[in-house]
Amino acid sequence: DIIEQQSMRIAVIQINTQRKPLNDVHVRRAISYAFDYDAFINDILGGSVERNPAPIPNNLWGYPKDVKGYTFDIKKAKAELAKASEKVNRIIEIHPMVGYNQTDQMAQLLQNGLAKIGIKTKIVPETWPTLSGKAGNPNPAPDMWIHWVSTYHADPNNRLGEMYNSAHWGTRNASSAHT
């Protein structure tokens, strides 16, 4: 028997919020609008997943039912970029985790969307030990890195408390807040 059930695994694009120009909320919003979520879900993952715009799985208790995620919208991405006080005047590196074709494809999809709004990128695949090791310090940490997160406990704190709590800054667990 093959049983298909929704998992608690989510794809994550971490953004180094401590380095210019990614420290500007409008640059980060532009990046979020430049990712083609439907293409990722339908073309890369074959429609086998649901959109999950929150940092915890949508089948976990505590999930905010009214949350609205970003949409792929190049016009909105350009508008956000125009509002940014930090200009994107360098190549932004995207580091997908090695060994997962889906993270490579996510990086390429993001690179394509960012090119449409005038942001130049470079894809630098890296192993999990290298990525997680770099995440503890804003300077060696990548501009953006892509990986998967699975829940180990059916508790929202396993995600929110570990990944976004400032007590974990300097570790891979709170990498998007710290790095």
- Read off the pLDDT of residues 33-50 as tens digits, 9 standing for 90 and up: 999 999 999 999 888 888
pTM for the full model? Answer: 0.85
Q: Return left, alpha or beta for 62; rule: phi > 0 is left, psi -120 to 50 is alpha, else beta.
A: left
- Whole-angstrom distance, CA of residue 140 vs CA of residue 131: 9
Tens digit of each residue's pLDDT (9 = 90 or more) over 117-135: 999 999 999 988 888 788 7
More confident residue, 91 or 59: 91
Tell me which residue of 61, 56, 79 sits closest to 150, measured CA to CA.
Answer: 56
In angstroms, the CA 46 to CA 34 distance is: 20
H-helix or E-strand spanning residue 164: helix 160-164
Helix or strand or coil: residue 146? strand
Residues 82-89: what's their mean pLDDT? 94
Contact 172, 145 (CB under 8 A): no
Dist CA 23 CA 125 (whole Å): 23
Q: Which pLDDT belongs to residue 114?
A: 98
Provide the pLDDT confidence category of residue 168 given band limits of 50, 70 and 90: low
Residue-wise DSSP of 27-67: HHHHHHHTS-HHIIIIIISTT-S----SSS-TTSTT--TT-
Q: What percent of the chain has a predicted confidence (pLDDT) above 90?
A: 42
N residues, the chain: 179
